[in-house]
Structure 1
């Protein structure tokens, strides 16, 4: 690991669409140098290395052997999170790990344990965790917790091959629905049980036999507080309107967190109106919190820790089991 300075040397592993999004954000910062990029696809490596002025690698071990880094972004598909994360930790390099923390609980546990043992800063990319609007939400719910929450995630997404394969990426439940699971937990506390159902209607995949995931599904979360939350996810065509938000109902509050792209909190609480906008898009805020945590050497200063992301994964895995069985499934 390089010595911490005002300008951090970073690398990005995994150069798909989310890796590109992180590269674009990092390239726009004057306190970061993109030192290296990695992917198993040499064409992607060459392209990104040229565009971002970085050295390119197709071997992650070679990257860590040759680069002095202050932080690394891991943006590989979920089933390939474990090895690069353990490699980074073994070299003492803080990690920004895209969500979910892993595809399987066993991999997630190994990541959580390795990070905890190392004392390194590690953030998981549940970006809505970084919304400054959540401070207001939690304040309004203090002493009068939410009784019902409704999360909506309707919109298009990139049809990556691993995303279409349930065994690799977990489909819409893990890749998209877990964002809302994480947000429900951040607002209303832990989930104890999950029910789930999926639509058999094809909404976004034009070809029969293309992937085995559900285009639309509903989760019902039972919370430890006694509240209930419903999350609805639908993958739509690219030309359709999108809707992302979380409605929250408490005894003295009814408000909505409008998510991408406006990030606005509106409604009424305690007899007064609420209308606030986020000071920064959460994707950018999450990265900023991670970089600040790296400089401070403070693992708890990130928006979402691996241990927190593990609890979100456990809810999502219970949802998968509920989809398959039709039963109400207890969360680990």
Structure 2
């Protein structure tokens, strides 16, 4: 079965999905909409699709089976609900939004509609990450350490807290999600965010340039997440899991996995493109009607967002916030 796809958004992440979808035999890109008409036309021409005049004309169940929603988190409005009401399957980029109540309302509408849904936490699809999940199953983790360092995003909206949610919600959300995926749900969080340097790079920025987050998991494990978006001379990411008889280390956003225990120490580096694997899984799920290939649905992605929002709330309150 060919899966007919519409794309809302024609920016960098949307174009990345378009390039992946062109490699998937079952996927047919039908239409693209963006508030910037020229961007939509250029993207559509590059894949042999049409540029839709507006969202309503794109969200036509007679023309598409599924839609990729790739607008920034501040510009989603009620797109997911509109698609769900029409029975159109939905892929949504992370993070799901900036307000938990709004996202909860959308999750309810999606669940009630029965559509297939997926959220863009692509790192879950690395074979190395799945091997780590298999290894950690049933083992006792007592400490988690995660970090992500890098440089700023060029978009004005990204450096505006009310539009992006900050570095933790927008980018480090991948590490937040990896901890959940591999070690279980969060129980509580405390956090501090600083802004010592970002004004020197972007005087109009309202996001923090660094964050130090501590948390506990429902399992009883404790951990930290440290992050900075103003780190031009040192970048990268890693997540470490410590147990009494093992150590698991994921680096490069999950691309490389090291497992050490009393039996052996093994390092594996993935050759997969997790974004391609993610898009394949969504297309396959729509084609077959089975959600099984999808590793992160909307409710799951909502829980990852809840942690980031809770961390900022904890920083504002100066106290622990329970999830």
Quote the residue 1:264 is aligned against. Answer: 256
The alpha carbon displacement at 1:241 in A equals 4.3
- 23-32 or 120-129: bigger deviation: 23-32
Contact 2:198 2:205 in 1 (8 A): no
Quote the residue 2:46 is aligned against. Answer: 51
Counterpart-to-counterpart distance in 2, 1:184 and 1:58: 41
Q: How does 1:1-332 map to 2 (within 5 A)?
A: 5=1, 7-65=2-60, 68-203=63-198, 206-208=201-203, 210-236=204-230, 240-260=233-253, 263-331=255-323
Aligned residues: 323
Contact 2:29 2:49 in 1 (8 A): yes
Contact 2:9 2:40 in 1 (8 A): no
Contact 2:6 2:59 in 1 (8 A): no
Contact 1:130 1:286 in 2 (8 A): yes
Partner of 1:301, secondary structure, is coil
Counterpart-to-counterpart distance in 1, 2:40 and 2:158: 21
Structure 2, unaligned stretches of length 5 or more?
none
Counterpart-to-counterpart distance in 1, 2:59 and 2:180: 35
Any idea what the Cα deviations from partners look like across 1:263-289, whole Å, max 9, x if unmatched? Answer: 011130243112223352222221111
TM-score (norm 2): 0.93
Any idea what the Cα deviations from partners look like across 1:156-202, whole Å, max 9, x if unmatched? Answer: 34232222221122011210122111111111111111111122221
Partner of 1:34, secondary structure, is strand
Structure 1, unaligned stretches of length 5 or more?
none
The alpha carbon displacement at 1:67 in A equals 5.6
Label 1:134 to 1:106 Cα distance change in 2 as closer, same or farther (>3 A): same
Counterpart-to-counterpart distance in 2, 1:113 and 1:246: 32
Contact 1:144 1:251 in 2 (8 A): no
The alpha carbon displacement at 1:136 in A equals 2.5
Any idea what the Cα deviations from partners look like across 1:43-91, whole Å, max 9, x if unmatched? Answer: 2112112222111124101222486112110011113334111121122
Partner of 1:123, secondary structure, is strand
Contact 2:192 2:212 in 1 (8 A): yes
The alpha carbon displacement at 1:131 in A equals 2.4
TM-score (norm 1): 0.91
Counterpart-to-counterpart distance in 2, 1:318 and 1:38: 33
Label 1:148 to 1:270 Cα distance change in 2 as closer, same or farther (>3 A): same
